[in-house]
């Protein structure tokens, strides 16, 4: 009886080795294909837009100068009165100045105001 199962196993193993089964030489690539497609979709929908946004923010930070009106990531509006490589001094009211990390500047006020009227028109 044991010989019956062994001969069946050899017969099945021989057919797969000759390319007759579905798990032949191309089976490895077909199983990896969905993972490659998922990575491609994640790259196009998540990673690439985030990299573009980070690049634009870095360019905006590099172009900051005295007199620019900005908004911080905390929501503070102010006018730049001093600037270094790592810090920005903002005047948020007459004779009231705050030091803010340069990376915390979210954007220029003019860029924020351009999108605000479109939102007000919808109301």
Domain ranges of the chain: 29-63, 65-117
Label residue 76 left, alpha or beta by phi (over 0 means left) and psi (-120 to 50 means alpha): beta
Reported as a single tens digit per residue, the pLDDT across 68-116 is 999 999 999 999 999 999 999 999 999 999 999 999 999 999 866 665 5
Reported as a single tens digit per residue, the pLDDT across 28-46 is 888 899 999 999 999 999 9
Q: Does domain 65-117 have CATH number 2.30.30?
A: yes
- Cβ–Cβ < 8 Å for 104, 76: no
Backbone angles phi, psi at 49, to 5 degrees: -65, -35
């Amino acid at each position: 009886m044991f010989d019956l199962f062994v001969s069946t196993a050899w017969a099945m193993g021989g057919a797969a080795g000759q390319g007759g089964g579905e798990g032949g030489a191309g089976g490895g690539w077909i199983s990896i294909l969905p993972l490659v497609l998922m990575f491609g979709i994640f790259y196009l929908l998540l990673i690439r837009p985030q990299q573009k946004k980070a690049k634009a923010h870095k360019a905006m930070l590099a172009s900051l100068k005295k007199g620019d009106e900005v908004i911080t990531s905390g929501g503070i509006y102010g006018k730049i009165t001093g600037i270094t490589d790592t810090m920005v001094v903002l005047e948020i009211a007459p004779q009231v100045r705050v030091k803010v990390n340069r990376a915390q500047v979210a954007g220029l006020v003019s860029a924020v105001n351009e999108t605000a009227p479109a939102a007000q028109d919808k109301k």
